[in-house]
Structure 1
Amino acid sequence: MSRTRLTGIDAARGVALLGMMSTHIFPLYDPETGSPTFVALVFSGRASALFAVVAGIGIALLTGGQNPGAGRSPGQNRRGIAARALVIALIGLLLGGLDTSIAIILFHYAVLFLMVLPFISMPLGRLAAWAGAWICLSPVLAYLVRPWLNENVSPPEVGGNITWEHFLEPATLFADVFFTGVYPTVQWLSYLLVGMVIGRLNLGALGVQAGLVIGGIFAAVAAKFVSAYLLVDAGGFAELLGTESGQRWPIGRMMEVNLTGVDQSGSWWWLAVSAPHSGTTLDLLHTCGTAAAVVGVCLLLTRARPNLLLPLSAAGAMTLTLYSMHIWVMALVDAQEPALEPVWVFWPQAAAAVLIGIAFAKLGSRGPLETVASGASRLARDGTLAENRR
């Protein structure tokens, strides 16, 4: 791997990739007991959040790291990121046409790249203030807006992955992408902003790396403790059981794994939840904390030996290609009858991702889709496909 590249960041992205793959393949509930599985308890909600936080770190590094905008104008940086977003969106739309049960993140990911453009030139202090405010206020905005969308937009969500045909229903598409879908970008922008804050730090400094671990763990644990106090000691959970969703769903069990698809309305106590994919302030704080801790650990482990986590960092350096391959493979797997055992689906894919990543790393090459995205970014930013090494 390039000596100038922070392989710890790539390793964290590799963790996110394998974690997301595991939640796509392994059951999240034990079919016999109904209890959450190990994969659900460890990776559900956290892997995808890590993916988004590392995306924010990447944007910060692309736009100057500790010196935002260094060497290029803000307009150039914005054009480059917008072009990258366009490529990612097109790939997401193509994958959305596959017959798969996986909620593909790429189109929403591209929208997040566009949403973050106003923030790329902000100094660290102002950016951190925006990130904190967004974590606190975006869930409140979503809580207020979702009921209106559910009543006035028909249907209020696309009901699957986004494809070209959904552009014929712009209101539904807007509602799904920003508020009502699996990855509501209004709340998910928090992850990219936090990632950009991390990316503006001196990531090579030992104190910063250790601070990410300690601060991340503290934030993650504190969010869970506050949520537990509000729901159990303050009586919030009993109030939620009285809502329509509380009477319809086993929300106690679902709060351990995933609240996707649960209508979180009818009580302000929903904002006290920290469940995966609930999109509340405490959920965002918890998952930002776990993401920061993983990034810090990966940076510490690769501090003296950049290739120590090569299987993860090599795969993490080409996640766009590997994620797309995974979605395509899963579309084929889902069509198999009888269904394959999850262990025989996950481990070959994980091994293939690692081996492909190492092969490209040894060749000193980007992945195919990374090459396209980077080329489009350079063309829009610098007016040339040639890489300008600064």
Structure 2
Amino acid sequence: MIQRRLTGIDAARGIALLGMIATHTLPLYNQETGYGTLTGLVFSGRSSALFAVVAGVGLALLTGGSQPHEAKAVNRDRRGIAVRALIIALVGLALGGLQTSIAIILFHYAVLFLLALPFVGMPLRRLAVWTGAWLLASPVLAYLLRGWLLENLSPAEIDGNLTWDSFLAPATLAADVFVTGFYPVLQWLSYILLGMVIGRLTLTNLPVQVGLLAAGIFAAVTSKFLSYYLLGSLGGFDALQATASGQRWPLARMLEVNLSPVEQTGSWWWLALAGPHSNTSLDMLHAAGTAAAVLGACLLLTRARPNLLLPLSAAGAMTLTLYSLHVWVMSVVDLQVPPLEPMPVFWIQATIYVVLAILFQRIEARGPLEFLTSGASRLARGKSGAGTAARKR
């Protein structure tokens, strides 16, 4: 059965893409005041999380959506997903060789796809239980592992993006990918699993769309308030400022924008944070809630008029190609002396990518990298791959 593609999902993915481009090109802090800029306050941490949650939705839809495939078909789906992950990883490693300040997500994205393989055949209720447990337990395990790794492994993380040379230090590579790096997949699997739970729902139903919007807003707001209570009223923030990292970094400002450079060791109070890229349960609940709300809103807006968000949905249908193009463009931009003004750099790229995506859609063509990954995935599935691929997202 061929299903109508849900352009709201593509639109949400397009928002994630443009949000990440914004954080890569526009300043996250005001150089004069030290406060976070609008870009940093709105998009930092949330755009990449939205990207991962929608990826989980895509995996669920690839494996049957609200009507999961049977065991034999799921095995074919797993082969297809594994090949897709391999290609994404190769693209990520190729981009990692470029000179850029962007923390490239693609290799971690591919590892997340592989880690999701045991979950793609799970019934919804069991998958939901796993998701909740992973969301709560993974930050605790990461906290324990992070301290041990930083003490016993030197270096404990990769300096810069992953390249083929990173495989020469397998222990450091594993530590970086799973725990100590910018996108620690140990915790980030929570986003993929939550996306898979969402993708198992009947996303065409109005109550589901409204529920995603309402539940997402509730989760995002509640997690922030709980973190503020723990850090403020219960004294958690003062305890963190007494740690080595708390004395080294301006935590109050970083809590609003980006905590990725902070070495979160020395106090269990780090788990009470909800700041971007702190990768705690409260941070992931907030970012995932935001992602669910955005997805619900996009599905509602495109419910009656699928092309209402065309600039976003067109870009969201070819994010692998456009993201890769963006990383290459920024590797050139970063070399310019004097530096280019960030605002034109963002708007020129965003405009070109959206126009390019709409042109591809008009001629009913996929992006080059989407065409490659989709074709290789169908081949890996075998003879029945075409039938599986006919279910549109």
TM-score by length of 2: 0.97
Task: Give the SS at the match of 2:256.
Answer: coil
* Deviation string, structure 1 residues 1-36 (Cα, Å, up to 9, x no partner): x97100000000000000000000011100111110
Q: How does 1:117-156 map to 2 (within 5 A)?
A: 117-156=117-156
What letter matches 1:39 in structure 2? T
Task: Give the SS at the match of 1:218.
Answer: helix
Q: How does 1:7-86 map to 2 (within 5 A)?
A: 7-70=7-70, 73-86=73-86
What letter matches 1:340 in structure 2? L
Q: Percent identity?
A: 66
Report the alpha carbon displacement of residue 375 of structure 1 after superposing the two structures with TM. Answer: 0.9
Distance 1:72 1:7, change over 3 A: farther
Query: 1:100 is matched with which residue?
Result: 100
Contact 2:76 2:385 in 1 (8 A): no
Using the TM superposition, name which of 319-328 and 252-261 deviates more.
252-261
Report the alpha carbon displacement of residue 71 of structure 1 after superposing the two structures with TM. Answer: 8.9
Distance 2:383 2:164 in 1: 29
Contact 1:273 1:280 in 2 (8 A): yes
Contact 2:311 2:354 in 1 (8 A): yes
Report the alpha carbon displacement of residue 328 of structure 1 after superposing the two structures with TM. Answer: 0.3
* Deviation string, structure 1 residues 109-130 (Cα, Å, up to 9, x no partner): 0000000000000011010111
Distance 1:218 1:335 in 2: 43
Contact 1:64 1:71 in 2 (8 A): no
Distance 2:385 2:214 in 1: 41
Report the alpha carbon displacement of residue 389 of structure 1 after superposing the two structures with TM. Answer: 3.2
Task: Give the SS at the match of 2:264.
Answer: coil
Distance 2:356 2:129 in 1: 40
Query: 2:247 is matched with which residue?
Result: 247
Contact 2:71 2:121 in 1 (8 A): no
Q: How does 1:152-171 map to 2 (within 5 A)?
A: 152-171=152-171
What letter matches 1:298 in structure 2? C
Contact 2:378 2:386 in 1 (8 A): yes
CA RMSD, 1 decimal: 1.3
Query: 1:326 is matched with which residue?
Result: 326
Query: 2:299 is matched with which residue?
Result: 299
Q: How does 1:176-191 map to 2 (within 5 A)?
A: 176-191=176-191
Using the TM superposition, name which of 312-321 and 65-74 deviates more.
65-74
Distance 1:248 1:30, change over 3 A: same
Report the alpha carbon displacement of residue 73 of structure 1 after superposing the two structures with TM. Answer: 2.0
What letter matches 1:280 in structure 2? T
Distance 1:203 1:129 in 2: 20
Contact 1:63 1:70 in 2 (8 A): no
Query: 1:377 is matched with which residue?
Result: 377
What letter matches 1:194 in structure 2? L
What letter matches 1:83 in structure 2? V
Query: 1:215 is matched with which residue?
Result: 215
Distance 1:70 1:95 in 2: 37
Distance 1:384 1:87 in 2: 21
What letter matches 1:281 in structure 2? S
Query: 2:281 is matched with which residue?
Result: 281
Task: Give the SS at the match of 1:188.
Answer: helix
Distance 2:223 2:245 in 1: 23
Query: 2:271 is matched with which residue?
Result: 271
Distance 1:72 1:378 in 2: 15
Task: Give the SS at the match of 1:256.
Answer: helix
Q: How many residues align?
A: 389
What letter matches 1:49 in structure 2? A
Distance 1:384 1:76, change over 3 A: closer
Contact 1:376 1:385 in 2 (8 A): no
Unaligned regions of 5+ residues in structure 2, if any? none
Distance 2:70 2:103 in 1: 37
Distance 1:239 1:183 in 2: 26
Report the alpha carbon displacement of residue 384 of structure 1 after superposing the two structures with TM. Answer: 8.3
What letter matches 1:217 in structure 2? I
What letter matches 1:389 in structure 2? A
What letter matches 2:379 in structure 1? L
Distance 1:353 1:201 in 2: 31
Distance 1:271 1:98 in 2: 34
* Deviation string, structure 1 residues 292-317 (Cα, Å, up to 9, x no partner): 00000000000000000000000000
Report the alpha carbon displacement of residue 252 of structure 1 after superposing the two structures with TM. Answer: 1.0
Query: 2:351 is matched with which residue?
Result: 351
Distance 1:237 1:102 in 2: 29
What letter matches 2:5 in structure 1? R
Query: 1:389 is matched with which residue?
Result: 390
Distance 1:236 1:113 in 2: 35
Distance 1:232 1:386 in 2: 55
Distance 2:118 2:79 in 1: 12
Distance 1:80 1:249 in 2: 44
Contact 1:80 1:378 in 2 (8 A): yes
Distance 1:384 1:62 in 2: 13
